[in-house]
């Protein structure tokens, strides 16, 4: 029986519902290839335990698994609120002050403190203040007092229950807050020490936010590319050797300012996440689907891996089956050509984490099979100044060959992972088996559309590689004799850099 590989990758967020080894193991068996650790919740000891469990499962199942650290960023939250919470009503008045207080019930007027009192200095009358993911909506009506006694006065447009630490969004306010907090800096150190595979940067507003994180990583010896070194290859070509601890940066697009600076942000990022949670709070909900498609299209233009996240199977936090709309949402992201789809609360705190992954896997498999059978192709990639012409030409050649012979697999030997990235960008409807002797580079490739990373010791020659692959496919029942495959490697095979050899091979033939 031939192996079925998932082309579109699944990312699962780890939380109380999924941090034990048995659940992690079942999630991987069901299709997860990347795990997200959300630094907004938990402690460093908990994060360490999760990473150790993931690596244990990875070894037991002999499957490369990437760990994504999601930095909290400058999220503004309400200060302390009386234990039972406070329900504010439409047309009531809310005030924000700079000093710490515990908000108490106060009739038609309630006063709150926040975790970032400096916002009081920049909010202007007429600007919106959204609380609890936009469920409670205020508008600033006036500013009272000066300096430390300054107070923001708001009218409640949509009321609701508020409790301690509920999020605050300021879609109309141009904040000068730093993109990385002191906690983020500690999380970055932790991620480097524990060899995380990716870091996701929250609340990106401009390209400089991405560059700041890259510079920190570069100084720590874990950086990818920076200004004037932009690449469309996860930053894997940025170092002349093969660093084990390189950490690509995923920019989360969730702010209106990020939409305004989208192309520059995408260029500087190693990958991009369409973070629809805060994006749907800060921008008109009716625009979210359109923005999602625009972001994906620009990522394709510049050859950057793209993830769609947030509420994909949200109802499965409580229900064992998703809604029809959620199924369509996942399928449409795959139709748009994303590299990965992500589960958040569904696997972190949901009642049915494994079922959610199984259903997402099923949706992805059916959708990709339909794409292949129907002959639907993704829109033609535009020529981009940040894509290297040589590996792009090789990838285009492989695509042309594949269109003619319809191979069972694309096979590549990769030292740094660069050629695998370019081949993945072509969105060919068959698995790309990427062999390498560099384990941490193989983990990076788990994010990419179609790529199945496999460890192999460095073969002595291109012919030896073909023979090893031939044996691997037959021994694992992934192919049968006579199946065509396209093999891509460097010549000589240990040559770092460009893969420059393409071979059409039929399984069972002599590799010479």
pLDDT in tens, 387-415: 567 788 889 899 999 999 999 999 999 98
Which of 109, 83, 82, 114 is CA-nearest to residue 96? 114
- Six token digits for residue 122: 């920049």
Residue 492 confidence (pLDDT): 87
Q: Which whole number is the average pLDDT over 126-153?
A: 94
Residue 235 confidence (pLDDT): 77
Beta strands 432-436 and 409-413, pairing class: parallel
pLDDT in tens, 165-219: 898 999 888 887 888 999 999 999 999 999 999 999 999 999 999 999 999 999 9
Which of 487, 448, 445, 455 is CA-nearest to residue 470? 487
Q: Evaluate whether 508 touches 475 at the Cβ level (below 8 Å).
A: no
Q: How far is it, in rounded angstroms, from Cα 367 to Cα 70? A: 28
Beta strands 271-275 and 249-253, pairing class: parallel
- Six token digits for residue 233: 């290859």
Q: How far is it, in rounded angstroms, from Cα 288 to Cα 276? A: 7
Lowest-confidence region among 35-49, 164-178, 200-214, 262-276: 164-178
pLDDT at 225 over 60: no
pLDDT band of 294, cuts 50, 70, 90:
very high
Contacts of 16 (CB under 8 A, 6+ apart): 348, 349
Q: How far is it, in rounded angstroms, from Cα 437 to Cα 453? A: 10
Q: Which whole number is the average pLDDT over 450-465?
A: 95
Q: Which whole number is the average pLDDT over 283-289?
A: 91
Q: Evaluate whether 473 touches 507 at the Cβ level (below 8 Å).
A: yes
pLDDT at 230 over 90: no
Q: Which whole number is the average pLDDT over 411-425?
A: 92
Q: How far is it, in rounded angstroms, from Cα 211 to Cα 218? A: 10
Phi, psi for 244 (deg, rounded to 5): -80, -25
Residue 228 confidence (pLDDT): 45
> Coil, helix or strand for 6?
coil
Residue 244 confidence (pLDDT): 58
Contacts of 315 (CB under 8 A, 6+ apart): 321, 322, 323, 326
Beta strands 484-489 and 9-13, pairing class: unpaired
Q: Evaluate whether 118 touches 109 at the Cβ level (below 8 Å).
A: no
pLDDT at 499 over 90: no
Residue 423 confidence (pLDDT): 94
DSSP 380: P
Residue 379 confidence (pLDDT): 60
Contacts of 100 (CB under 8 A, 6+ apart): 79, 80, 113
Q: Could you tell me which residue, 351 or 497, shows the higher pLDDT?
A: 351
**Which stretches within 121-272 are classed as H helix?**
182-193, 207-219, 256-260, 262-268
pLDDT band of 226, cuts 50, 70, 90:
low
**Which stretches within 170-284 are classed as H helix?**
182-193, 207-219, 256-260, 262-268, 276-282
SS (H, E, C) 26-95: HHHHHCEEEEEEECCCCCHHHHHHHHHHHHHHHHHHCCCCEEEEECCCCCEEECCECCCCEEECCCCEEE
Q: Which whole number is the average pLDDT over 26-46?
A: 96
pTM (predicted TM-score): 0.91
Q: Which whole number is the average pLDDT over 224-229?
A: 53
Residue 58 confidence (pLDDT): 98
Residue 449 confidence (pLDDT): 97
pLDDT in tens, 146-160: 999 999 999 999 999
Residue 512 confidence (pLDDT): 46
Mean residue pLDDT of the chain comes to 91
pLDDT band of 1, cuts 50, 70, 90:
very low
Percentage above 70 pLDDT, the chain: 93
- Six token digits for residue 205: 């507003």
Which of 379, 387, 453 is CA-nearest to residue 422? 387
pLDDT at 380 over 80: no
Q: Could you tell me which residue, 246 or 140, shows the higher pLDDT?
A: 140
Residue 416 confidence (pLDDT): 86
pLDDT in tens, 60-109: 999 999 999 999 998 899 999 998 899 999 999 999 999 999 999 878 89
> Coil, helix or strand for 23?
helix
pLDDT band of 366, cuts 50, 70, 90:
very high
Q: Is the peptide bond before 304 cis (omega within 30 degrees of 0)?
A: no
- Six token digits for residue 489: 């490697």
Residue 221 confidence (pLDDT): 87
Q: Which whole number is the average pLDDT over 477-487?
A: 95
**Which stretches within 341-386 are classed as H helix?**
345-348, 353-374
Q: Looking at the DSSP assignment, which residues form a beta bridge with residue 199?
A: 69, 249
3-state helix, strand, coil in the chain (%, to 5): 35, 20, 40
Residue 239 confidence (pLDDT): 55
Q: Evaluate whether 5 touches 430 at the Cβ level (below 8 Å).
A: no
Q: Evaluate whether 356 touches 30 at the Cβ level (below 8 Å).
A: no
Which of 197, 199, 188 is CA-nearest to residue 269? 199
Q: Could you tell me which residue, 4 or 434, shows the higher pLDDT?
A: 434
pLDDT band of 38, cuts 50, 70, 90:
very high
> Coil, helix or strand for 406?
coil
């Amino acid at each position: 029986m031939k192996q079925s590989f998932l082309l579109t990758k699944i990312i699962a967020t780890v939380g109380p519902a999924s941090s034990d080894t048995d659940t992690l193991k079942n999630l991987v068996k069901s299709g997860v290839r990347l795990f997200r650790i959300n630094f907004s919740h938990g402690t460093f000891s908990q994060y360490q335990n999760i990473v150790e469990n993931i690596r244990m499962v990875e070894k037991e199942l002999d499957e490369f698994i990437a760990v994504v650290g999601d930095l909290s960023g400058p999220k503004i939250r309400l200060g302390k609120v009386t234990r039972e919470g406070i329900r504010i009503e439409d047309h009531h008045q809310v005030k924000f002050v700079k000093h710490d207080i515990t908000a108490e019930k106060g009739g038609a007027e309630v006063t709150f403190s926040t975790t970032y009192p400096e916002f009081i200095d920049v909010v202007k009358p007429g600007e919106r203040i959204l609380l609890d993911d936009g469920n409670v909506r205020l508008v600033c009506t006036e500013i009272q007092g000066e300096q430390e006694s300054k107070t923001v006065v708001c009218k409640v447009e949509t009321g609701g229950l508020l409790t301690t630490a509920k999020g605050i969004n300021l879609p109309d306010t141009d904040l000068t807050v730093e993109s990385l907090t002191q906690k983020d800096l500690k999380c970055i150190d932790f991620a480097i020490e524990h060899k995380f595979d990716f870091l996701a940067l929250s609340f990106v507003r401009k390209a400089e936010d991405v560059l700041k994180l890259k510079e920190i990583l570069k100084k720590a010896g874990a950086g990818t590319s920076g200004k004037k070194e932009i690449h469309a290859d996860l930053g894997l070509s940025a170092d002349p050797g093969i660093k084990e601890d390189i950490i690509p940066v995923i920019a989360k697009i969730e702010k209106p300012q990020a939409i305004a600076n989208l192309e520059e942000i995408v260029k500087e990022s190693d990958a991009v996440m369409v973070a629809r949670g805060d994006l749907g709070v800060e921008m008109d909900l009716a625009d979210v689907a359109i923005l999602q498609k625009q972001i994906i299209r620009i990522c394709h233009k510049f050859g950057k891996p793209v993830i769609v996240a947030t509420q994909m199977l949200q109802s499965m936090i409580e229900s064992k089956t998703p809604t029809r709309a959620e199924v369509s949402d996942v399928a449409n992201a795959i139709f748009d050509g994303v590299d990965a789809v992500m589960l958040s609360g569904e696997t972190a705190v949901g009642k049915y984490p494994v079922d959610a992954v199984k259903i997402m896997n099923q949706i992805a498999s059916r959708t990709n099979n339909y794409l292949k059978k129907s002959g639907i192709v993704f829109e033609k990639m535009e020529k981009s100044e940040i894509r290297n012409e040589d590996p792009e030409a090789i990838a285009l050649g492989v695509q042309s060959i594949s269109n003619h012979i319809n191979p069972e697999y694309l096979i590549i030997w990769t030292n740094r992972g660069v050629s695998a990235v370019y081949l993945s960008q072509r969105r060919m409807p068959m698995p790309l088996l990427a062999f390498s002797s560099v384990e941490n580079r193989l983990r990076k490739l788990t994010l990419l559309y179609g790529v199945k990373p496999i460890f192999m010791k460095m073969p002595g020659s291109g012919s030896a590689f073909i023979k090893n692959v031939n044996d691997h496919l037959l021994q694992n029942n992934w192919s049968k004799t006579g199946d065509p495959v396209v093999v891509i490697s460097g010549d000589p095979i240990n040559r770092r850099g460009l893969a420059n050899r393409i071979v059409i091979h039929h399984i069972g033939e002599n590799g010479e």
